[in-house]
Structure 1
Amino acid sequence: MFRDVSPLIKPRKVAVIGASAKKVSQGNVVIANLKDWNWQGEILPVHPTAPEIDGLPTVKSISELPCDTDTVIVAIPASGVLAALQEMEAHGIASANVFANGFTAVEEKAIRAFGETSRLHVHGPNCMGLIDFCGRAPLYPSRPSLRIKPGRVSLIAQSGSAAISVMNTITVGLSKVVTVGSEFQLSAADYVAWCADDAETDVVGVVMESVKDPVAFAFAAQKMWDAGKPLVALKVGASEIGSAATRAHTGALISPRDAYDRYFADCGIALVHDYDELVAALECFNLARPVINRGGAAIAGISGGQTALACDVAEEVGLEVSRFTPATQRAVSQFLPGTSGGNPIDIGAVVSKEERKSEDALRAAVEDDNVSVMALLQDCQSSLNPATLENYMLHIPGYAAIGASVKKPVVVISPTSEEIAPRIRAEFDRAGVPIVRGLRAGLAAVRCLANSLDGAPGRWARARVDQTPGTDDLAALRREIESHTGALPADLAFRLLKAYGIPTVPACVAKDEADALAKSALIGFPMVVKVASGDIAHRSDVGGVMLDVRDEGALKQAIAAIRRNVAAKAPKAVIDGFEMQAQLSGEEAVAGFAAAAPFGSMIVTGTGGVRVEIEADRAVGLAPLSLSDAERMIGSTRLGKMLAGYRDLLPKTDLSGYADLLVRLSRLAADLGDLIGGCDLNPVLITPGKGSVCVVDALFVVSDTTGQDAEESPELVLS
């Protein structure tokens, strides 16, 4: 699944195409970087006429390069790249590092096709190469900051400017920096997988605009997880929601970020939202002890106002603030007399230095079973008054000693983004305690630490790879779906649900009153009667739904009333017939899916019925779901909490049937989501207590549909 990128990261012989004997080009900058960094490998400029470039003898052509050349820097215009790659392939070169951009669509297609079958590893294009700080190998067409030192953090970014921003901000040492650019062949997944085995890398940050191959990237994340190395991602931009999804309620219930957020969570990848959070998270993971238990954070500081603000910000960034056990509260209160002993800890509330035993209080808090990490707020700015700095240095060594001695991670947060005072940083560095800048970024980094045991890396990817091959019945359904545009007809929708074992309400459609009376015995009383019309989107809005129809007389009256209501409120609508459904009761849920490239389909569930968009109660997951995924989704919604038993109003309901329905729907989505871009099952009735489930209405919209929006899409009738 992964290409070995060692020739690019750890080369011994580097050739450079595009260096000039007369001017400074990107190729010349690479040569200068390698020489200035005293790289120990061999540099081979390629030039047809110049005898030497930058003091190095040249090779006249690619075909004259040594066959054991590890990588070639391709610093030439886009139009010449494919021919150069083909010549390298023929000559047995291991890899190529392509900087160029501005490819035509034809050129891009040709290079991507070449890369699919080529033995040559192609990096880029439209990138700034890569740097191995540990091996002092800057295959990079610019000048890296001189402040960067070798370290244990690696960065992989699609954008060269993103890499520059992080390199110029991070305070810990870097191992590798890779800018993957447009990923015509090699992708971020190849480098993440390589870093999982790299003895010089402990943590990897990724800045990405898209995921080229979600399955491959998930397996790369699994390799990182297995190696005990954290993976932190900054996703730039949002995914697109297909037009078919916007026609269904599911489209209104999801945001463009949902698919990526769920993907990263499922893969155990820590997600951050800007460069400051990324830098803080990488700095935390670089030094922090690994998390050993699930739980929230203990927050402590010298100022009550500052710790209160930290709790507010923690809620905003998704960091759980732990609730101390009674034993911990008693201990903290004993060491800090006059305080409640709760979380957050206000060290400054105890004025008397003689009574204050802050180090003992902090140690008791961090050892609480409900705490997985401690965030310790401390002003550490380089602009501190010297007298204030001396005062702080009286207790900072004690804080550092706590962080060095406890088994759980302790993170020091300087509440503003200003540089850290060198004396303070040195104290915490010696103790191996991370110190980060900025309250919001710091707490986001602590959230990444606290959640580092969550996720199931590789589970979703394995489910995609191991998906059951299609049957003849599935192939027939696919052919039938492909023959339609827009909303699928009712009979096909019903057969789709039946094929996947999803229970539906007993129903049939009558052409008129006489037909309805003749078919009423198929449904039985009481029943629900609804207008069947492709011109009416929401039937209840036009008086097209009649409930509690208990006998034949009431059935005739219901149909007459529907005719009058439709004539008054939708006079242009053509009535195709009247749907008769068994009248069932239960809590109303919505289940559905939406196309979510590049991950396939995203499953949505929550409170259904007419309240679906008003309440916007929803949980999402990527297809296919496991049973535990479905249970998690249900449990996170208000619907799930109600059905779990709510006071004396609702009994505890067995939700296994509804979880099974979601799993079956997710299999349908995984099999057919490339054709069906949006689906609503609304409502799905769930019987309180017993938990039996039944789909009442369904909508399936074919992916390539254009035209009608959600308000114009007719609900489908199950018959």
Structure 2
Amino acid sequence: MFRDVSPLIKPRKVAVIGASARKVSQGNVVIANLKDWNWQGEILPVHPTAPEIEGIATLAAISDLPRDTDTVIVAIPAAGVLAALQELEARGIASANVFANGFSVTEEQAIRDFGATSRLHIHGPNCMGLIDFRDRAPLYPSRPSPRITAGRVSLIAQSGSAAISVMNTITVGLSKVVTVGSEFQLSAADYVAWCADDPETDVVGVVMESVKDPVAFARAAQKMRDAGKPLVVLKVGASEIGSAATRAHTGALISPRDAYDRYFADCGISLVHDYDELVAALECFNLARPVLNRGGVAIAGISGGQTALACDVAEGVGLTIAKFTPATQELVGKYLPGTSGANPIDIGAVVSREERKSEEALRAAIDDDNVNVLALLQDCQDSLNPATLDNYMLHIPGYAAVGASVTKPVVVISPTSGEIAPRIRAEFDRAGIPIVRGLRAGLAAVRCLSNSLEGAPGGWARARGDHAPGSPELAAFRKEIAGYSGALPAELAFRLLKAYGIPTVPAYVASDEYDALKNADLVGFPMVVKVASGDIAHRSDIGGVMLDVQDEAALKLAIASIRRNIAAHAPKATIDGFELQAQVSGEEAVAGFAAAAPFGAMVVTGTGGVRVEIEADRAVGLAPLSPPDAERMIASTRLGKMLAGYRNLLPKTDLDGYADLLVRLSRLAADLGDLIGGCDLNPVLVTPGSGSVCVVDALFILSGTTAADMIERTELVLS
């Protein structure tokens, strides 16, 4: 699953290809960094003609390198990289660090193909290498800021500029900084897994543009969890939702970020949204550890306006404000007389210092079972007036004492992003209390502290890795589906659902009016009649559905009406036949999936029917789902709350059947999501009380089908 990146992070012999005897190149900067940092290993410049570079004797060729060379800096143009890597593998070298960019499509594929089978560990390209601050090993083609100190926070970033931004902002010490670049072979997952075992790393931050291998990264995250080490991710950019999904209602219910957000949640990974939040979270985790997500945050500060603003911001970053128990509220009110004792705590509302017992009030709040963590707002800016700073230092030691004496985390938040006054930082550092800058960033860091540590995150990765479809029936379906474009025919769609054990309404697809009349008894009256056409995505939009058909005469009229409507609104659509369905009733749900690279497919459910997009009631999960995943999704929707017996509007309904339908649909999505880009089961009827389910309408749109394709085929003209 993971390659051992030790030769890259902990090398003792480093060779450099591409350093110059006449000008400063990236290779020269790496050599200069190693020398300036007094790195204790051996540097081996490789140059065909120069006798020495940067005062170090050179080797003439790769073939002259000692076989125990740990890593080689490949600082040469893109065109020569593959040949150099092939020579390094032939020499038996352990790893290579490639800086170059500008590869052609052919060159990139050739290196990826080489890396897939090579024993050589290839870092990059299009990266800025890596730095081990603990061993003072800067394999880095630029000059790191001298202000950075060695510590226990590691950073892995696809972007070199992202690493620079974080390195130049963070105030705690760094252990490793790794820029992985384009990940032609090694990926962020390899380094996260390595850091899980690194005794010099306590917390890891990752800045990523994409997930190369979702299962591998999820398992690396699980290694971090098993080691008790927090992992924080800043994801840049959104996932791609296949164009086919946009023709299905489910596509309208899914946002581009849903797949990644769901993935990180399933993996138990703390997610942040910008550099400030990432820095704050890493600074927080440098001293604090995650807590079980069984409560909310208590907020306290010297200003009522500031604590009220913090509550607004907390809601915006997804942080729950704890509700104190009556006993806690009474205690806080006792220690801060004249206040309500409720959360947030306005310490400044008590003017008299003699009456104000701030430390006791804060301890009472932390002891509340509804409280997970205390966020303490305190102006800490280095620009404070000296007299104001002296005044604050009268109570800051008391705050520090509270934080040092309790088991739940206390985080001090300076409400703006200004630098922290050294006297204040020193006081909280001595107590082991994190202090972070900026209200929004600080509260996002607090949310990360409360990241869910319960249950068994990583279940999706295991399910995805263990999911091994391959039955003869599936192979036959794949072959049949591959013969179509646009939407699957109704008969094939319902046959596919039946194969996966998904209940469908009694139905018959008639070729024409005569076939419909002859076989109407197979369905029975009253019935629903729908046009069957692979060219039409949403049939009710253009009069392709007739309800409450009571007898044979009405059946003939219904089919004639459908023909007229299709001729008027979709004249180029091919009518494959007419679906006759038993008319059934129940609460309308929608279930479906959309292709979501690189995770496979994303399942969605919520309130269905003709108002599905207006209601926009939805929950999402990555395929394949477990039964608990499906139950969680249903419970989080308005549909689920209604079926659970909300205010007696509906009888309490057994939802096992609908959860089972979602699980089965997710297996279909995992098996066929590469061929089927979008799926709607709308409506799925759920019988109140018994919970029996059946699919009334099914739409499967093949991957690669665009909105323009469907419109061109149907010449859809809505009246």
Q: Normalising by structure 1, what TM-score?
A: 0.96
| Aligned equivalents of 2:95, 2:563: Cα separation in 1 | 72
Q: 1:572, CA displacement in angstroms?
A: 6.9
State whether structure 2 residue 676 is matched by structure 1 residue 669: no
Contact 1:247 1:709 in 2 (8 A): no
Residue of structure 2 equivalent to 1:65: 65
Contact 2:537 2:699 in 1 (8 A): no
Residue of structure 1 equivalent to 2:354: 354
Residue of structure 1 equivalent to 2:717: none
Residue of structure 2 equivalent to 1:526: 526
Residue of structure 2 equivalent to 1:185: 185
Residue of structure 1 equivalent to 2:642: 642
Residue of structure 2 equivalent to 1:262: 262
Q: 1:67, CA displacement in angstroms?
A: 1.2
| Aligned equivalents of 1:709, 1:351: Cα separation in 2 | 70
Residue of structure 1 equivalent to 2:135: 135
Contact 1:247 1:713 in 2 (8 A): no
| Aligned equivalents of 2:364, 2:713: Cα separation in 1 | 60
| Counterpart mapping for 1:696-707 below 5 A | 696-706=696-706
When structure 1 is superposed on structure 2, of 430-439 and 23-32 the one drifting more is 23-32
Contact 2:486 2:710 in 1 (8 A): no
- Code of the aligned partner of 2:238: A
Contact 2:155 2:177 in 1 (8 A): yes
Q: Secondary structure at the match of 1:287?
A: coil
Contact 1:157 1:208 in 2 (8 A): yes
- Rate the CA distance shift 1:709–1:425 in 2: closer, same or farther, 3 A: farther
- Rate the CA distance shift 1:78–1:455 in 2: closer, same or farther, 3 A: farther
Residue of structure 2 equivalent to 1:217: 217
Residue of structure 1 equivalent to 2:628: 628
State whether structure 2 residue 213 is matched by structure 1 residue 199: no
| Counterpart mapping for 1:461-610 below 5 A | 461-533=461-533, 536-559=536-559, 562=562, 576-610=576-610
Q: Normalising by structure 2, what TM-score?
A: 0.96
| Aligned equivalents of 1:664, 1:713: Cα separation in 2 | 32
Residue of structure 2 equivalent to 1:18: 18
| Aligned equivalents of 1:545, 1:48: Cα separation in 2 | 77
When structure 1 is superposed on structure 2, of 286-295 and 537-546 the one drifting more is 537-546
Q: 1:546, CA displacement in angstroms?
A: 3.1
Residue of structure 2 equivalent to 1:100: 100
- Rate the CA distance shift 1:572–1:180 in 2: closer, same or farther, 3 A: closer
When structure 1 is superposed on structure 2, of 550-559 and 190-199 the one drifting more is 550-559
1:634-654 deviation per Cα after TM superposition (whole angstroms, max 9, x unaligned): 111111111111112111111
Residue of structure 2 equivalent to 1:80: 80
- Code of the aligned partner of 1:547: L
Contact 1:218 1:457 in 2 (8 A): no
- Code of the aligned partner of 1:238: A
| Aligned equivalents of 1:564, 1:77: Cα separation in 2 | 66
Contact 2:510 2:578 in 1 (8 A): yes
Q: 1:92, CA displacement in angstroms?
A: 1.1
- Code of the aligned partner of 1:525: F
Residue of structure 1 equivalent to 2:658: 658
| Aligned equivalents of 1:556, 1:707: Cα separation in 2 | 32
| Aligned equivalents of 2:86, 2:513: Cα separation in 1 | 74
- In the comparison of the two structures, how many residue pairs are matched? 714
1:168-211 deviation per Cα after TM superposition (whole angstroms, max 9, x unaligned): 00000000000001111111000000000000000000001111
- Rate the CA distance shift 1:563–1:84 in 2: closer, same or farther, 3 A: closer
- Rate the CA distance shift 1:142–1:552 in 2: closer, same or farther, 3 A: same
Contact 1:537 1:712 in 2 (8 A): no
| Aligned equivalents of 1:518, 1:593: Cα separation in 2 | 36
Q: Secondary structure at the match of 1:685?
A: strand
| Counterpart mapping for 1:340-419 below 5 A | 340-419=340-419
| Aligned equivalents of 1:537, 1:237: Cα separation in 2 | 30
Contact 1:537 1:713 in 2 (8 A): no
Contact 1:51 1:58 in 2 (8 A): yes
Q: Secondary structure at the match of 2:323?
A: coil
Q: Secondary structure at the match of 1:383?
A: coil
Q: Secondary structure at the match of 2:11?
A: coil
1:453-484 deviation per Cα after TM superposition (whole angstroms, max 9, x unaligned): 25743311111121144111111111111111
Residue of structure 2 equivalent to 1:717: none
| Aligned equivalents of 2:20, 2:559: Cα separation in 1 | 85
Q: 1:558, CA displacement in angstroms?
A: 4.0
- Rate the CA distance shift 1:20–1:514 in 2: closer, same or farther, 3 A: closer
1:88-113 deviation per Cα after TM superposition (whole angstroms, max 9, x unaligned): 11111111111111112221111111
| Aligned equivalents of 2:571, 2:92: Cα separation in 1 | 74
Contact 2:247 2:537 in 1 (8 A): no
Residue of structure 1 equivalent to 2:226: 226
In structure 2, runs of 5+ residues without a counterpart are 715-719
- Rate the CA distance shift 1:347–1:709 in 2: closer, same or farther, 3 A: farther
Residue of structure 2 equivalent to 1:337: 337
RMSD across aligned positions (CA): 1.8
| Aligned equivalents of 1:191, 1:406: Cα separation in 2 | 34
Q: 1:617, CA displacement in angstroms?
A: 1.0
Contact 2:487 2:535 in 1 (8 A): no
State whether structure 2 residue 156 is matched by structure 1 residue 156: yes
- Rate the CA distance shift 1:78–1:712 in 2: closer, same or farther, 3 A: closer
- Rate the CA distance shift 1:288–1:712 in 2: closer, same or farther, 3 A: farther
- Rate the CA distance shift 1:568–1:469 in 2: closer, same or farther, 3 A: closer
| Aligned equivalents of 2:416, 2:317: Cα separation in 1 | 16
- Rate the CA distance shift 1:710–1:384 in 2: closer, same or farther, 3 A: farther
- Code of the aligned partner of 2:161: S
| Counterpart mapping for 1:226-305 below 5 A | 226-292=226-292, 294-305=294-305
1:55-112 deviation per Cα after TM superposition (whole angstroms, max 9, x unaligned): 1111111111111111111111111111111111111111111111111222111111
Contact 1:266 1:457 in 2 (8 A): yes
- Provide the identity percentage: 85
1:559-617 deviation per Cα after TM superposition (whole angstroms, max 9, x unaligned): 45555655666677665543221111111111111111111001111111111111111
Residue of structure 2 equivalent to 1:613: 613
Residue of structure 2 equivalent to 1:44: 44
- Code of the aligned partner of 2:37: W
